[in-house]
Amino acid sequence: MKVLMLHGINHNMFGKRDPAQYGTITLDEINASLQALGRELGIDVEHFQTNSECDMCERIHQAFTDKVDAVLINAGAWTHYSYGIRDALAILTCPVIELHMSNIHAREPFRHVSVFAEIVKGQICGFGADSYLLALRAAVTAANAAGR
């Protein structure tokens, strides 16, 4: 089974950016923990991070071509307004899990809205870096249930 983890805008700054909200964990540390859990679950986890909305859409298109079994996405601020990324995600036929380290529903009002909500299998938020691990487990369960 192959799962693609998509990291959005500004996530390359984890560990430096707003530690009160996101902690001091780095993107490399998050990816390492996903790789470790992937090995434990017997699955392949690929990571992609970009600050370019165009590149994110292109990588989602490639995921469709590659027939990945599930996609995890923490799109950051794009979650709240990127209809381009939303439409790219809608092309996918595999389960898509949206995740966030912070509880977006307990933050600024604009963050309460996810333009992805109607097309994703589910959303996990508010558990810090553990949101990634919970999302990976949810993705594997959803992919297995879908016969992937």
Three-state SS annotation for 63-96: HHHHCCCEEEEECHHHHHCCHHHHHHHHHCCCCE
Residue 46 token pair: 């690929």
Residue 77 token pair: 């601020």
Residues with active-site annotation: 22, 100
- Give 21-24 contacts, CB < 8 A, sequence gap 24+: 21/101, 21/102, 22/101, 22/102, 22/128, 23/101, 23/128, 23/129
State the CB neighbour count (10 A cutoff) for residue 66. 12
Contact yes or no for 6/72 (Cβ under 8 A): yes
Residue ranges in the chain assigned as alpha helix (H) = 19-22, 27-41, 53-66, 83-91, 130-145
